[in-house]
Amino acid sequence: MLVTIKNKYTAFATWSVMAMLLVFIQGCDNKKGDETPAFDRQGLNQKTAEFIIIPSYDQYHTALNSFESSVDAFFADATEARLVVVREDLKTLRKDWQYCSFYNFGPALDASLLSFTNIFPVNTGTIETNIANGGYNLSSIATKDQQGLQALGYLFYGESLSNAAIVESYTTGPFAAERKQYVSDILNSMDTSIETVRTGWVTYKDVYGATSKSGTDAGSSLSLLLNEWNKYFEVNLRDAKIGIPVGERTLQQQQPTKVEALYAGYSTELALHAVQAYEDLYLGKSIDGETVTSLDNYVQAISAKTVIDGSDLSKSIKSQFSVIKSALGNVQDPLSEEVETNQSGVKTVFTEMQKLIVFIKSDLTSAMGISISYIDNDGD
């Protein structure tokens, strides 16, 4: 019996040692698999802030100043020719907004920049009531659908009004002086918001580029950027600009009045700029055309692959950006008409945007070890 027990003990000890060796070997293999080539995430954060984020705010701020100047000139001598200039500068302003719209963290989040700048559809009835009665408070978040770029679009285009009628509304029409004041108050609100954000980034850029923020955990700069990047793409770009108007988010009931530039009629063009802004960030392309350390460089450095078929993730993302822009090229303006007459074309844009979301929300973040912390209803 003693011999038997001894033999069993010897066998158990032998298998225990072998098991520990297997665990050790497997652990070494896993550790090797977890290792990725060194990449300077802090440098990525610093370059992104200095060459992409901050200049995009500066560009928008410059466009806002130009628009204000054209509005002042129009108010001083309201003519149809000056109205045309106002509209041209407003279009530039709305285009430039697309390039800084999705950095909704840090100073922009604190200032509620997105809410005060570009919430649509706009509440035209309340705007007219505000103009006629006064007593409004544009510093309240409750008035977000009564101001910003959308309100300006309505006030300088109107609902099927001629240029002459718009000019009249600022000269001899009812509440002309009050209408001018309302526009001025909107611009003051927009000035306050963007100045707060630009001032905030003077110091926040050091926080954003700090060593302590160079990880991939929640609260790191890369986590903040990618979470807001993905969230805005899903909610404000794919859904708000395309999905809701064409019915993909409203039980296939088209909502033509919910496009971004309803009164100006260039919603598709703005969507194209929004996609371009996303691609520029991904590729590290600055406003001036300079290329800096980018998310794409990071994806390539870690040899990231798509989950679905193991393809090169960098190539897949860049290819999908091209596919989306091509799809948008098959959709004309005004988008409010296209969602009814060219539903298949608009829905193709939505579908291709959804494919990109899989790449940037699932594959890219997983490869980088970033957790998506916001909640959506897609299940992707």
Taking only the tens place, the pLDDT of each residue in 316-356 is: 999 999 999 999 999 999 999 999 999 999 999 999 999 99
Residues forming a β-bridge with 312: 305
The pLDDT of residue 83 = 98
- Whole-angstrom distance, CA of residue 285 vs CA of residue 287: 7
Same structural domain for residues 231 and 206? no
Same structural domain for residues 233 and 261? yes
Q: Token digits for 159?
A: 């609902």
Residue 170: alpha-carbon gap to chain centroid: 34
**To which residue do tokens 């040899």 refer?**
303
Q: Token digits for 215?
A: 């990880």
Closest CA to 226 of 110, 109, 374: 374
> Is residue 11 in some structural domain?
no
Same structural domain for residues 205 and 59? yes
The pLDDT of residue 112 = 97
> Is residue 262 in some structural domain?
yes
* Global pTM value: 0.89
- Tell me the per-residue pLDDT of 38-82, one tens digit each, with 9 for 90 and over: 799 999 999 999 999 999 999 999 999 999 999 999 999 999 999
Same structural domain for residues 153 and 292? no
N-term to C-term CA, the chain: 62
- Tell me the per-residue pLDDT of 100-125, one tens digit each, with 9 for 90 and over: 999 999 999 999 999 999 999 999 99
Q: Is 49 left (phi over 0), alpha (psi -120 to 50) or beta?
A: alpha
**To which residue do tokens 């969507």 refer?**
271
Owning domain of residue 366:
216-380
CA dihedral 160, 257, 57, 192 (to 10 degrees): 70
When pLDDT is cut at 50, 70 and 90, the band that residue 137 belongs to is: very high
Same structural domain for residues 160 and 229? no
Helix axis angle, 343-357 to 313-329, nearest 10°: 160
Same structural domain for residues 239 and 171? no
What is the full DSSP assignment across 57-117?
Answer: HHHHHHHHHHHHHHHHHHHHS--HHHHHHHHHHHHHHHHHHTTTTT--STHHHHTTHHHHH
% of residues, the chain, pLDDT over 70: 89
Residues forming a β-bridge with 291: 285
The pLDDT of residue 292 = 97
> Is residue 129 in some structural domain?
yes
When pLDDT is cut at 50, 70 and 90, the band that residue 2 belongs to is: very low
The pLDDT of residue 10 = 39
- Whole-angstrom distance, CA of residue 377 vs CA of residue 185: 37
What is the full DSSP assignment across 319-330?
Answer: HHHHHHHHHHHT
36 has pLDDT over 80: no
The pLDDT of residue 34 = 36
Same structural domain for residues 102 and 175? yes
When pLDDT is cut at 50, 70 and 90, the band that residue 377 belongs to is: low
When pLDDT is cut at 50, 70 and 90, the band that residue 273 belongs to is: very high
> Is residue 15 in some structural domain?
no
Domain boundary among 195, 214, 233: 214
Domain boundary among 159, 193, 214: 214
Domain count, the chain: 2
The pLDDT of residue 375 = 74
The pLDDT of residue 13 = 38
Residue 103's domain is classified under what CATH number? 1.20.1420.20
The pLDDT of residue 305 = 98
Same structural domain for residues 340 and 328? yes
Query: Which H, E and C letters describe 194-262, residue by residue?
Result: HHHHHHHHHHHHHHHCCHHHCCCCCCCHHHHHHHHHHHHHHHHHHHHHHHHHHCCCCCCCCCHHHCCCC
Helix axis angle, 148-157 to 176-208, nearest 10°: 150
Beta-carbon contacts of 162 under 8 Å, excluding residues fewer than 6 positions away, are: none
The pLDDT of residue 378 = 55
% of residues, the chain, pLDDT over 90: 87
The pLDDT of residue 376 = 65
> Is residue 279 in some structural domain?
yes
Same structural domain for residues 243 and 189? no
Domain boundary among 214, 246, 274: 214
Q: What are phi and psi of 285, to 5 degrees?
A: -95, 120
The pLDDT of residue 8 = 37
Same structural domain for residues 160 and 236? no
Helix/strand/coil for 288? coil
For the chain, give the number of residues: 380
The pLDDT of residue 38 = 79
- Tell me the per-residue pLDDT of 4-31, one tens digit each, with 9 for 90 and over: 333 433 333 333 333 333 333 333 333 3
The pLDDT of residue 80 = 98
Mean pLDDT across the stretch 185-211? 98
The pLDDT of residue 28 = 36
Give CA angle at 331 (330, 333), nearest 5°. Answer: 140
The pLDDT of residue 191 = 98
Same structural domain for residues 97 and 228? no
Same structural domain for residues 95 and 239? no
- Cα torsion 308, 314, 317, 323: sign: negative
> Is residue 22 in some structural domain?
no
> Is residue 264 in some structural domain?
yes
The pLDDT of residue 326 = 98
> Is residue 8 in some structural domain?
no
